[in-house]
Amino acid sequence: MIKKRTAFIGAIVLIIVTSLFTTVISNMVAIQFNERVYISKNEYERLVAINEKFNKVLYLKKYIEDNYYQPVDEKVFEDGILKGLFEALGDPYSEYMTKSEFDSFMTHTHGTYGGIGIIVTPGEDGYITVVSPIEDTPGERAGIISGDKIIKVNDKEVTGDKLDEAVAIMKGKPGTKVDITILRPNKKEPLTFTIEREEIRLKTVKSRVIDNDIGYLRITMFDDKTSEDFKKHLKDLESKNIKGLIIDLRNNPGGSLKECVEIADELLGKQTIVYTKDRAGNKEYMKSDAKKVDYPFAILVNKGSASASEILTGAVKDTKAGVIIGTTTFGKGLVQAVRELTDGTGFKLTISQYYTPNGEYIHGKGIEPNIVVELPEELKGKVEMTDEEDLQLQKAIEVLRGKI
């Protein structure tokens, strides 16, 4: 099975490359005489080579159609060719999406959907890994936590290379139920959760005043409205004369780089927030202006804090603008471009790596907090904690009290 898959992916790459070369060759100079076209020897040899590769693709396609034990829909080949181009990269964050998959992706990022409210990613171990549950959703209330490995959805076994299929099954009409079976590192046996789907509305920012005069601002993910909502909540907190601020990024899986940078711009003063580097070594720096808050602040993080969350965390840590409290973050240091194609399909492609202001590349490592505070085992994954139970929050209050 692995050999067949490898061969097919190779063929996929060849057909795409072939189309690219054909485009180039069609632009070459040729001389037409009556019904004949004359080209150079080099051009002829190149065309012959391309033809041989294309014939290989056609041969494999025909062989599959004739010999596979079930009929194969033409659309399966079309999608497989395009998906295989991205799968050949071996990058779980780069993928081609069919129209329905792309619609689902954009809805999840910008709107509402029926589901259980968890952020998942293909893990390097082949499992579907939970990055984090979205706050106040069925998945979180059921007890699913960051690091869980999903092995079954209903009765269907799922793996990281079939992430979209698994997500499609997890989504559904609000009020219906789905069974999620997971592996958890500290449990010997798989755990199964029966979860009722709800309409998931992505409210990414919440705030309140705690301990009389300390603002608490929770960011659950970075979508295209997060920075706008952040500014509104921050202004409201400041109108209540807060003397310190806690920004909670725990279990925030990331999202829009632009929105994250906008928020950092409100906090840091004139600083480098992050820079990216592409494969050619070109660097792009994102910087904040002179605006900054005039009170101390802390950021709470954990293993579920990923991607854009880590950009904000890294900027604050490296510039010493605030203090980072909690546990080591997820470790995703790659930037994806998302593009929609004219037929409604789309893709994600990793185009660069990002680095913290001090040049740290955190992919696969994460960011260690200034102050490490572990939650007791019995509180990890708990849906709701009181402020008194939350040792990471209490440490942040203690640190800010020493600075106010």
Active site residue 179: no
Active site residue 41: no
Comparing C-alpha atoms, which of 178, 241, 249 is closest to residue 212? 241
Instruction: Tell me the pairing of strands 149-153 and 198-201.
Output: unpaired
- In the set 303, 332, 348, 395, the catalytic residue is 332
Could you tell me where the DSSP H helices lie in 171-256? Answer: 226-239
Biggest CA–CA distance in the chain, Å, is 90
Measured CA to CA in angstroms, residue 394 lies from 288, 294, 313, 325, 389 at distances of: 30, 22, 19, 10, 8
Which residues neighbour 347 within 8 Å (Cβ) at sequence distance 6 or greater? 86, 94, 95, 96, 97, 338, 339, 341
Which residues neighbour 403 within 8 Å (Cβ) at sequence distance 6 or greater? 244, 296
The single-letter code of the amino acid at 364 is G
Q: What are phi and psi of 5, to 5 degrees?
A: -65, -45
Active site residue 307: yes
Comparing C-alpha atoms, which of 265, 316, 307, 309 is closest to residue 286? 265
Cβ neighbours, 10 Å, residue 250: 25
386's tokens: 């009181």
Measured CA to CA in angstroms, residue 52 lies from 55, 73, 80, 310 at distances of: 5, 25, 21, 48
- In the set 148, 248, 265, 318, the catalytic residue is 318
CA angle, 290 then 291 then 297, to 5°:
120
166's tokens: 């698994």
d(CA 316, CA 321): 5
- In the set 307, 317, 348, 395, the catalytic residue is 307
CA angle, 137 then 143 then 149, to 5°:
105
Tokens 């470790």 belong to residue: 331
Active site residues: 307, 318, 332
